């Protein structure tokens, strides 16, 4: 009995050590895979500001910006055997009065659109209905890594989130830019975002900013048709 | 003595070593050696102060939260690391596997300090003893004796520790102990013919002695001098 | 063995070894805390609101210092809400202002709505000080043990008992 406990302990200890070493090697292998993400196009296609309420029972009215955009990006190099999912998101950034301009320290930053791109190895974890799930799984049948999923091409995409500001005002805001970001979620290891500078085999995401634009004035009534170009 | 009645797993090297280690102080103290606990006491002091520090850190963290105490916590972590490092250094460099430090009785040819450290190699059932004797007359320096003996010499097949051959081994190999216990030293000489390589006791004898010891309940001193005399009570049979 | 308890020094040493195992584990935890400046540098995911990135039982390593840049939009943060015991792991989706007074809004990747409903009554945004740390490292599944232990309290008792027994009975 006594020596069985000791053996069990030793076996468990050995198993843990091996598991951690393997995990560490897998995590470190990320560094060896080059990352060369690129952005072909990021531009706004339609801008609109409307008045609305933050939720149904609120009496306060706020201004909401609805920013439609087009995006072409190739993030396929971010998919490796240790990639669980890629979280891609587009933020709108604008300075406050007296604040600094855009950049990592833009004073106002809000996500307008995001997308979870799972690696085929993580498809079963995605939060999808049965039909969409079947479609997703079929799209990468037989593959455990599918870099094609990293190729994004969006045309006149509606934003997922209408953005506002704590002051309740966004209309006619100047110097707004859109910025594309990504976050690589590994199966094990360090989480990474688009970095500001090149790092060994990983290059930064260049050209991921749109041109500066100005949000329009409030529409008095929600009109049916809005201009197609910005 | 509980060590001789308790049965250990003979395949467990740590058990063999620990049981033998425990028998050394019992035997030597029964011969009139004065044991010094200096090494153990320093280790206990280092260990318990480290533990007390951690307990205090736990208490203030629990009572006051992390943010208001984080600089104290940082200092405590640093101090704990130092104390634990000192403890490790003490165990590795000062104790060096020492199981006994003591002064021999004046009757055994003047006072000498005996320090015994033991070790085993993984998978090899051999007991390595290093005995340092300080205060001998010749050049006043340290006399170092190295003894390596098989555990089978004093453990029977069932895993009972048998005191007599173990004590004879010590008395026979270390002159200071031999002087304090001439009877065992003589026994060791007679049995082995002065040759360290051959076991002093045959396995059959060990079994008989183990059965004898099983029924003996007595002090270390009794065991040290009269274990084999208890044979008269050794009627109880045990499966070997 | 139990016989060693007859010798007070050996008993004290054995007790000390047991104590040092506990205190060393605790101080390593506190060391991580101090380095990352976070009261809880490692957390276990308890809900599925960040799926498929994080499942229940995954282990997250946190970092709570702003050495290079401020806590920004897109980071996954662990935050506490006043009056609620359980910390929440969600992504920052909006940030207004700079520095310690910046207003932060979070949302679970797997949730349709942002976290305004989860915040305290009358609270619309988080402040930097509500955040316990940003997720920097990820180890899957390892923390599931703690979920099992908290959901089945008898396992906790049994495990502590066995651990204590093994340590007390065993030398080295």
Task: Calculate the alpha carbon distances from A27 to A35, A75, A76, B139, B193 in Å.
Answer: 15, 20, 19, 62, 65
Find out whether A61 and A51 touch, Cβ atoms under 8 Å: yes
- A17 and A122 inside one domain: no
Question: Where are the strands (E) in C111-171, listed by range?
Answer: 131-139
Query: From the CA of C25, how many Å to the nearest CA of chain B?
Result: 10
Residue A61 is assigned to a structural domain of this protein = yes
Contacts of C62 in chain A (CB under 8 A): none
Number of domains in chain B: 2
Contacting subunits of A (3+ beta carbon pairs below 8 A)? B, C
The reply to whether C27 and C88 lie within a common domain is no
Q: Are A27 and A67 contained in the same domain?
A: no
Q: Could you tell me the two tokens for B155?
A: 């453990």
Cα separation, B62 vs A195, in Å, equals 38
Whether residues B87 and B194 fall in one domain = no
Mean pLDDT for chain A overall: 88
Q: Determine the Cα–Cα distance for residues A216 and A50; give it in Å rounded to an integer.
A: 10
Q: Is C49 labeled as catalytic in the residue annotation?
A: yes
**Residue A29 pLDDT:** 96
Does the pLDDT at position C165 exceed 90? no
**Same-domain status, B73 and B8:** no
Establish whether C134 is a catalytic residue: no
Judge if A104 and A189 occupy the same domain: yes
ipTM of the complex: 0.88
Is B110 part of a structural domain of the chain?
yes
B167 and B222, same domain (yes or no): yes
Of C64, C61, C75, C66, give the one whose Cα is nearest residue C137.
C61
Q: How far does the CA of residue A112 sit from the closest CA of chain B (Å)? A: 35
Q: How confident is the model at residue C131 (pLDDT cuts 50, 70, 90)?
A: very high
The residues that bridge with B147 in the sheet, in sequence order, are: B129
Q: Does B91 reside within a domain?
A: yes
Domain count for chain C, please give it: 2
The residue range of the domain holding B87 is 39-95
Asked if the structure places residue C153 within a domain, the reply is no
Same domain, C43 and C113: yes
Asked if B49 and B165 sit in the same domain, the reply is: no
B9 interaction partners in chain A (CB closer than 8 Å): 2-3
Tell me if A145 sits within 8 A of A83, measured CB to CB. Answer: yes
Is residue C150 part of the annotated active site? The answer reads: no
Structurally, how many domains does chain A consist of?
A: 2
Please indicate, yes or no, whether residues A124 and A172 belong to a single structural domain of this protein.
yes
Q: What is the pTM of this model?
A: 0.81
A138 and A26 in one domain? Answer: no
pLDDT range class, residue A83, cuts 50, 70, 90: very high
Tell whether A47 and A6 lie within a shared domain. no
**Same structural domain for residues B63 and B130?**
no
Residues of B near A (CB-CB distance < 8 A)? 9, 11-12
* Same domain assignment for residues A166 and A152: yes
Same domain, A2 and A78: no
**CATH code: domain of residue C61:** 2.10.109.10
Q: Give the three-state DSSP class for C153.
A: helix
- pLDDT digit string, tens, across residues C71-94: 999 999 999 998 888 899 999 999
pLDDT tens string, chain B, 240 residues long: the values are 444 466 888 888 888 999 999 999 999 999 999 999 999 999 999 999 999 999 999 999 999 999 999 999 999 999 999 999 999 999 999 999 999 999 988 876 678 899 999 999 988 999 999 999 988 655 567 889 999 999 999 998 888 999 999 999 999 999 889 888 888 888 877 765 544 445 556 667 777 766 665 544 434 444 444 434 333 333 344 433
CB atoms within 10 A of CB B68: 11
Same domain, C103 and C82: yes
Q: How sure is the predictor about A2, in pLDDT bands with cuts at 50, 70 and 90?
A: low
Domain extent at residue A112: 35-193
In a domain, C156, yes or no: no
Read off the tokens for A130: 């049965």
Best to test chain C binding among A67, A84, A109, A128 (most C CBs inside 10 Å) = A109
State chain A's maximal CA–CA distance in angstroms.
82
Q: Determine the number of helices (DSSP H) and then strands (DSSP E) in chain A.
A: 2, 8
Is A182 domain-assigned? yes
Contacts of A122 in chain C (CB under 8 A): 52
Distance of CA A61 to the CA centre of its chain: 29
Same domain, yes or no: C81 and C97? yes
Average pLDDT in chain C: 90
**Is the Cβ–Cβ distance between B133 and B196 less than 8 Å?**
no
With CA atoms as reference, the chain A residue closest to B13 would be A3
* Residues B216, B165 share a domain: yes
Q: Is residue A131 part of a domain?
A: yes
| Assigned domain for B76 exists | yes
**Weakest mean pLDDT among A184-188, B60-64, B205-209, C132-136:** B205-209
Instruction: Check whether residue B19 and residue B57 sit in a common domain.
Output: no
Mutate to test the interface with C, among B47, B71, B159 (most CBs of C within 10 A): B47
**For the residues of A34-60, what is the DSSP string, one character each?**
-B--EEEEEEEEEEEEEEE-SSTT---
**A18 shares a domain with A117:** no
Domain containing C8: what range?
2-35+161-169
* The pairing of beta strand A189-190 with beta strand A108-118: unpaired
By mean pLDDT, which of B97-106, B108-117, C95-104, C135-144 is the weakest? B108-117
Q: What is the dihedral of CA A152, C107, C48, C147, to 10 degrees?
A: 140
Catalytic residue among C49, C58, C130, C134: C49
Are C106 and C74 found together in one domain? yes
| Per-residue pLDDT band at A221 (split at 50, 70, 90) | low
One domain, residues C120 and C165? no
């Amino acid at each position: 009995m006594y020596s069985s406990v000791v053996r069990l302990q030793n076996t468990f200890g050995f198993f843990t050590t091996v598991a951690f070493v393997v995990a560490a090697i897998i995590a470190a292998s990320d560094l060896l895979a080059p990352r060369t993400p690129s952005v072909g196009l990021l531009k706004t296609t339609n801008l609109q500001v409307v008045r609305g309420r933050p939720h149904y029972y609120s009496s306060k009215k706020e201004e909401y910006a609805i920013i439609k955009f087009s995006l072409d990006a190739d993030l396929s190099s971010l998919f490796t055997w240790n990639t669980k999912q890629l979280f891609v998101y587009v933020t709108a950034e604008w300075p406050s009065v007296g604040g600094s301009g855009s950049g990592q320290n833009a004073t106002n930053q809000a996500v307008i659109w995001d997308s979870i791109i799972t690696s085929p190895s993580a498809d079963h974890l995605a939060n999808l209905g049965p039909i969409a799930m079947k479609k997703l799984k079929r799209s990468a049948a037989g593959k455990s890594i599918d870099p094609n999923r990293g190729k994004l091409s969006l045309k006149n995409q509606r934003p997922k989130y209408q953005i506002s500001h704590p002051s309740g005002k966004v209309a006619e805001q100047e110097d707004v830019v859109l910025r594309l970001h990504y976050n690589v979620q590994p199966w094990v290891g360090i989480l990474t975002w688009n970095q500001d500078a090149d790092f060994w085999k990983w290059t930064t995401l260049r050209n991921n900013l749109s041109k500066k634009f100005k949000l329009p004035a409030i529409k008095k009534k929600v009109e049916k048709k809005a201009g197609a170009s910005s | 003595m509980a060590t001789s009645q308790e049965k250990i797993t003979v395949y467990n090297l740590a058990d063999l070593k620990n049981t033998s280690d425990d028998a050394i102080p019992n035997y030597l103290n029964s011969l009139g050696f004065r044991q010094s606990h200096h090494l153990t006491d320093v280790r206990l002091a280092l260990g318990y102060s480290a533990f007390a520090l951690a307990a205090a850190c736990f208490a203030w963290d629990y009572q006051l939260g992390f943010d208001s105490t984080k600089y104290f916590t940082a200092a405590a972590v640093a101090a704990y690391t130092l104390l634990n490092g000192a403890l490790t250094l003490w165990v590795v460099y000062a104790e060096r596997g020492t199981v006994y430090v003591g002064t021999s009785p004046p009757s055994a040819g003047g006072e000498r300090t005996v320090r015994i450290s033991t070790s085993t190699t993984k998978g090899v059932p051999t007991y390595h003893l290093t005995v340092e004797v300080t205060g001998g007359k010749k050049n006043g320096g340290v006399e170092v004796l190295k003894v390596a003996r098989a555990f089978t010499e004093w453990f029977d097949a069932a895993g009972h520790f048998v005191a007599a051959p173990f004590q004879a081994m010590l008395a026979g190999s270390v002159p200071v102990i031999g002087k304090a216990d001439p009877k065992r030293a003589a026994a060791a000489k007679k049995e082995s013919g002065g040759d360290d390589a051959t076991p002093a006791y045959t396995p059959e004898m060990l079994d008989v002695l183990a059965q004898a010891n099983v029924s003996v309940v007595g002090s270390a001193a009794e065991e040290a001098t009269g274990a084999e005399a208890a044979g008269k009570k050794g009627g109880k049979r045990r499966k070997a | 063995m139990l016989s060693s308890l007859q010798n007070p020094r050996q008993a004290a040493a054995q007790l000390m070894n047991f104590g040092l195992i506990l205190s060393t584990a605790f101080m390593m935890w506190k060391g991580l805390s101090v380095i990352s400046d976070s009261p809880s540098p490692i957390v276990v995911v308890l809900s599925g609101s960040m799926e498929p990135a994080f499942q229940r039982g995954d282990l997250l390593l946190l970092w709570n210092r702003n050495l290079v840049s401020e806590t920004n939009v897109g980071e996954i943060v662990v935050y506490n809400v006043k009056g609620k015991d359980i910390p929440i792991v969600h992504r920052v989706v909006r940030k207004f202002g700079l520095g310690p007074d910046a207003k932060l809004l979070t949302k679970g990747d797997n949730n349709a709505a942002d976290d305004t409903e989860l915040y305290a009554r009358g609270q619309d945004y988080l402040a930097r000080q509500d955040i316990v740390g940003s997720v920097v490292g990820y180890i899957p599944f390892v923390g599931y043990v703690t979920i099992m232990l908290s959901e089945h309290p008898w396992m906790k008792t049994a495990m502590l008992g066995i651990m204590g027994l093994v340590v007390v009975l065993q030398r080295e």
